[in-house]
């Protein structure tokens, strides 16, 4: 059976606002994310349908708080909450937050390709 731990997952993102360790398990990516600073990453999703994340996520907030903003409402998840983030959300992230999140790898890759391009463009400015 596929398995991983935070220590075994590859450190793929180490930015001032986020550290992310990721591993693929049977068509899903498990992400261990630690948010180092408050962040509204909405501009990074520009170019996706409705300029929102289209990848579904299932996760648990280990520490802190995460907000998913949808067109008509916000959903707030606190430490200990397990959540489903439906396509069409924008995350709002807070310093000190840790999550463990599962996402379909293909949908996550498509989303992160756009986010990566937007991040690179922002850094080039």
11, exposed or middle or buried, with CB in 10 Å at 0-12, 13-18, 19+?
exposed
* Alpha helix stretches (DSSP H) within the chain: 105-124
* CATH class as words, domain 10-118: mainly beta
- The confidence score (pLDDT) of residue 122 equals 86
With beta carbons less than 8 A apart as the criterion, state whether 35 and 91 touch. no
Kindly report the average pLDDT of the chain as a whole number: 96
Per-residue pLDDT of 98-120, as tens digits, reads: 999 999 999 999 999 999 999 88
CB count within 10 Å of CB 89 equals 21
How far apart are alpha carbons 73 and 69 in whole angstroms? 6
Per-residue pLDDT of 9-47, as tens digits, reads: 999 999 899 999 999 999 999 999 999 999 999 999 999
Q: How confident is the model at residue 125 (pLDDT cuts 50, 70, 90)?
A: confident
């Amino acid at each position: 059976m596929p398995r991983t731990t935070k220590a075994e997952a590859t450190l793929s993102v180490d930015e001032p606002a986020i550290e992310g360790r990721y591993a693929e398990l049977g068509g899903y990516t498990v992400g261990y994310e630690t948010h180092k600073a408050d962040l509204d990453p909405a501009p990074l999703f520009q170019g996706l349908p409705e300029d929102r994340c289209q990848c579904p996520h299932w996760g648990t907030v280990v520490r802190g708080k995460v907000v998913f903003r949808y067109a008509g409402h916000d959903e707030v998840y606190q430490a200990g909450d397990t959540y489903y983030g439906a396509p069409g959300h924008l995350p709002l992230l807070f310093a000190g937050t840790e999550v463990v999140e599962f996402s379909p790898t293909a949908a996550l890759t498509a989303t992160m390709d756009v986010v990566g391009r937007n991040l690179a463009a922002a850094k080039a400015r």
